[in-house]
Amino acid sequence: MGGTFINRNVDATICRRCGRPGDAKAFALDPIFKQVVCPQCVKERKKPGSTLTAEKPTDWDYEDEVLEKTHKLKQQQKPKETIRYVRINDEKIKIICPKCEFPFVYNTVRDSPRFCPFCARRAKPS
């Protein structure tokens, strides 16, 4: 009996940000804190002068930029229909099928197989 300040009749929970107990129904996922916080935390964040006001987390911008760059790079790196291959030895090369990306060994001496064994696309490096 006693000691606890959480009313057991409400769905009480502890704010993971400030540690204050509160009604779980009033808690919300905050886009700035990126976690579920109590209404007090949201109120504090919205206070004028708060350093947390609608500021975009810096890492988001960064990630977006990186994603965009890698996306652009990928586009540049993909000239159409270039057959990728790795030389294994004098005779054999490993071809990555340009259509289905299935890797298979091509024998340059026997000139075989000329087609991808998986999708039957002509996949001989010129």
Taking CB under 5 A as the criterion, the residue among 43, 55, 100, 125 binding Zn ion is 100
96, 105, 118, 124: which one binds Zn ion (CB under 5 A): 118
Q: Sort strands 103-107 and 92-96 into parallel, antiparallel or unpaired.
A: antiparallel
CB of 70 to Zn ion, least distance (A): 25
Q: Which of residues 5-44 bind Zn ion (CB under 5 A)?
A: 15, 17-18, 37-38, 41
The verdict on 99 binding Zn ion (CB under 5 A) reads yes
Binder among 102, 103, 104, 105 for Zn ion (CB under 5 A): 102
Using CB under 5 A, which of the segments 46-54, 57-65, 77-85, 98-106 binds Zn ion?
Answer: 98-106
At 60, give phi and psi (nearest 5°). -65, -50
**Three-point CA angle 23, 25, 28, nearest 5°:** 105
Amino acid at 108: T
In the numeric block, which tokens belong to residue 8? 């057991």
- CA trace torsion 55, 59, 61, 67 (10° rounding): -160
By the criterion CB under 5 A, which residues form the site for Zn ion? 15, 17-18, 37-38, 41, 97, 99-100, 102, 116, 118-119, 121
